Amino acid sequence: MSAKEDSLNFNEYGELVLEGIIASIPSIGAALQTAYFGRKNEKRFKRIESFYNELSKDINKLHAQMATSEQIDSISNELSDFMEATNDIIESQSSLAKRSMLHNAFLNILTSPESVDWSKSRFFMSTVSQIDMIDLKIMFAIQKIPSNRWAIPEEVERALSLDHFFSIGLLERLTNLGYLEKRLGSITMNENGTNIDTYYRITNLGNQFLDFVMNPPVSTNTQNSDN
């Protein structure tokens, strides 16, 4: 292992420095260090443990559809990077919704490793930490609109009971990520200023992202038992 690979990353170094500063506080430093960092590490471990326990249950249900050991070996580098990104998100964020997204993505990779676009999956993973459930609700709301129509912000606001400027901010964030596209319409001027009609619709990339993180594989055993 190279010195670079073995060295602490910036966040780890910063956390060690902070831990040292807290520990050095007179009289109560050690107690504060234990109270914060001990509890923090315990929560991190429990999140990771819970995630992989739940993943194990679904892998067992999908065992007939799982990749072979040889297939896993062939993507070991990419899978290692994916797992590291997954663990980082789980450790740093408490959102159950995001854990569910990562869970679904992991299962999709393990059942169809040959069809994974790793460049896109890395991009998808980088955005999981940036978005919230409200972003997903917006994408699903717009996804339901017929493909020959574009959504206007007011439709999203009414559907999800959002403040106007909050919805605009969210729509723009999703547009910047490439999950929505927008077009501009008529420009009108009134006493309140200039108004530009803006329309949004989901992109192919947005649909692929939702498939990756929201649509886990279905067990063929379950399908067969329903027939």
Name the more confident of 17 and 203: 203
Q: Is the pLDDT of residue 48 over 70?
A: yes
For 75, residues 6+ apart whose C-beta sits below 8 A from its C-beta are 113, 116, 118
User: What confidence category does residue 34 fall into, taking pLDDT thresholds of 50, 70 and 90?
Assistant: low
Which residue type does 38 have?
G
Average pLDDT over residues 82-98: 89
Beta bridge partners of 193: 190
Give me the pLDDT at residue 63, please: 86
Nearest-angstrom CA–CA distance, 60 and 109: 15
3-state SS record for 140-151: HHHHCCCCCCCE
Q: Is the pLDDT of residue 105 over 70?
A: yes
Phi, psi of 196 (to 5 degrees): -115, 120
Identify the weakest region by mean pLDDT among 6-20, 42-56, 71-85: 6-20
Nearest-angstrom CA–CA distance, 69 and 54: 21
Q: Is the pLDDT of residue 94 over 70?
A: yes
- Please tell us whether the domain made up of 133-210 is placed in CATH 2.40.110.10: no
Q: Is 121 exposed, middle or buried (0-12, 13-18, 19+ CB in 10 A)?
A: buried
Give me the pLDDT at residue 3, please: 44
Dump pLDDT digits (tens) for 167-202.
999 999 999 999 999 998 777 777 766 677 899 999
Domain boundaries, the chain: 8-130, 133-210
Helix locations, 62-150, DSSP H: 69-74, 76-92, 96-111, 118-128, 133-143
Indicate the average pLDDT of the chain.
Answer: 84
Place of tokens 């992989």: 52
Dump pLDDT digits (tens) for 109-150.
999 999 999 999 999 999 998 998 999 999 999 998 887 889
